[in-house]
Amino acid sequence: MEVEMKVLFITSGSQPMPATKGGAVETLVEGLLERNETGKKFNFEVISIYDEKAVEESHRYKKTKFIYVKRNQTMNKISNLIAACIYKTTKISINTKGDYITRIKKIIKKNHYDKIIIQNDAKLVIPVSNVTNAQIILHLHNDYLNENIKKCEEILGKCHRVFVVSEYIKKCVLTIKNSESQKIKVIKNCTDTEIFNPSAHLIDERNQLRSKYGIKKDDIVLLFSGRLTKTKGVKELIESFSKIKEKNIKLLIAGSSWYGVNTKVKYVRELEILTKSLSDKIVFTGFVPYKELAKVHAIADMALVPSIWEEPAGLVVIEAMSSSLPLIITNSGGMPEYVNDECAIIVERDNNLIESLKKGIEELIHSKVKREKMGEAGRKHVVELFNKEQYYNDFCKYLFEEKS
């Protein structure tokens, strides 16, 4: 009888698993765990921060063991804030996860693993490698390993493989001296095409949700979904929206400053002030749980991802396409790798960004036929290339593959 591979996932320690508080990385890992319940190719274990709701959710998994680590969340937030301020002024990265790393090392010492997958935190690679002979795979969802990262060569050297979400992130890793292209594997993100499926939502359900947010039946709804931070381009989107004269349009802003939290930070308050004169046309939903997000998609007519930073990939892009929503995105990082001309309008991040967004929005507002055609093309694109089955198969292929 073939022995199943024992694989440990180490999460970054910021959001719990299962993904009860959202998070793109956590959602993707959860998809792998769920698929493995039927595929049964691996014995998975997951180290996650403690969350009461996550513990309850974990009981439905038969092929995954969850190991929870309790952290002082107040001290963790203070440490992260101090570290962020230091990095902003000095570009020096401070490790704020000493307690988490200590617990991880103790867990690994007591167990045997064939492979250890570190999710999106390059700083964990060296301490983990010091206590195990297991093959270490770093799964990067952001630009967290490049030539400017301290000890980047040592970190890369300790990795058996590096999984990345886009060719853009791969290029970032390849800036490191002596890096090897064959060591870095691109595994494109996926989404649940059954959850994000426009045909899964009844017209009555759609109308009820529109009514909840004060949206009329014939209003054209623009959707922004994601964290409300400067890098996501929300302010620029609002400014472009304010220039559009059509009366029957609404901008639905679904998200908060951090996953699962509706605390209003300075930037969110600035957005609310900016939208005060447009309060009848702009709606803030606050944080929307992942499993409710598809319902929000169902009341929208188009989706916008106006990121002004280098977006590694953008899970929201795939979710919008899966929901048959036409897209307007910026030419940012790895996002263009996930779309094509049939389903998305791509605008440049330059001094004309606000005007370019306005032009793209107006183009879609004025043509229902174009919106529907782009939406259908996007849905087809995701179902063919970015479904959960494809993601699991790619993951398995590279996990079983021997280093060349």
Please write the tens of the pLDDT for every residue from 124-135: 999 999 999 999
Instruction: Please indicate whether the domains covering 5-190+387-400 and 198-385 agree at the CATH topology level.
Output: yes
**For the chain, what is the mean pLDDT?**
91
Beta bridge partners of 305: 329
Distance CA 384, CA 378 (A): 10
pLDDT tens figures, 292-323: 899 999 999 999 999 999 999 989 999 999 99
pLDDT at residue 24 above 80? yes
Give the CATH architecture of domain 5-190+387-400: 3-Layer(aba) Sandwich (3.40)
CA distance linking residue 33 with residue 392, whole number of Å: 9
- Poorest-confidence range of 101-110, 161-170, 202-211, 305-314? 202-211
Q: Do residues 221 and 250 touch, judged by C-beta distance below 8 A?
A: yes
> In this model, does residue 171 exceed pLDDT 60?
yes
Which residue type occupies 353?
A: L
- pLDDT tens digits for range 361-401: 999 999 999 999 999 999 999 999 999 999 999 999 999 87
* pLDDT higher than threshold 70 for residue 329: yes
Alpha-carbon distance 308 to 222, whole Å?
A: 18
Q: Give per-residue pLDDT as tens, 153-167.
A: 999 999 999 999 999
Amino acid 259: pLDDT:
46
Q: What residue ranges do the domains of the chain occupy?
A: 5-190+387-400, 198-385
The CA-atom distances, in angstroms, between 165 and each of 14, 183, 299, 362 are 20, 14, 29, 32
Please give the pLDDT value at position 395: 94
Confidence check: pLDDT of 272 > 90:
no
Average pLDDT over residues 184-195: 96
**What pLDDT is recorded for position 165?**
98
Q: So what's the architecture of 198-385 in CATH?
A: 3-Layer(aba) Sandwich (3.40)
- Does residue 202 register a pLDDT over 50? yes
Mean pLDDT of 233-253: 95
As a whole number of angstroms, the distance between CA 381 and CA 249 comes to 27
